[in-house]
């Protein structure tokens, strides 16, 4: 078991590459970190990673994560609409 705070983008990917975890538990979910894990999985498809979010339902943290996710989706929709 290793507990590691994710801080910088390059640090995240290098830690994932070094440890090649099977499970990741996020105490403070962040869309950016989830995307880094997705990039890691795409780069190393043989490494199957299961991600768990540890947070209270209907908490401020959950609402922040969901707001960030919605903002990301809205930005992608806007980008697609502008390119169309």
Q: Tell me the C-alpha distance between 62 and 76, whole Å.
A: 21
Q: Which of 27, 16, 79, 32 shows the shortest CA–CA distance to 56?
A: 27
Each residue of 39-52: pLDDT tens digit? Answer: 999 999 998 899 99
By the 8 A CB rule, do 23 and 2 touch? no
Confidence (pLDDT) at 11? 67
- Residue 72 is given by DSSP the state H
pTM above 0.85, yes or no: no
Residues whose CB falls within 8 Å of the CB of residue 75, separated by 6 or more in sequence, listed in order: none
Compute the average pLDDT of residues 15-30.
87
Residues whose CB falls within 8 Å of the CB of residue 66, separated by 6 or more in sequence, listed in order: none
pLDDT at 9 over 80: no
Confidence (pLDDT) at 32? 86
| φ, ψ at 68 (rounded to 5°) | -60, -40
Confidence (pLDDT) at 84? 79
């Amino acid at each position: 078991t290793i507990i590691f705070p994710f801080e910088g983008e390059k640090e995240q990917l290098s830690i994932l590459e070094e440890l090649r975890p099977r499970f990741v538990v996020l105490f403070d979910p962040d869309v950016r970190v989830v995307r880094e894990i997705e990039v890691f999985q795409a780069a190393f498809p043989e490494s199957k990673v299961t991600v768990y979010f540890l947070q209270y339902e209907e908490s401020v943290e959950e609402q922040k994560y969901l707001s960030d996710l919605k903002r990301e989706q809205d930005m992608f929709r806007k980008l697609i609409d502008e390119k169309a």
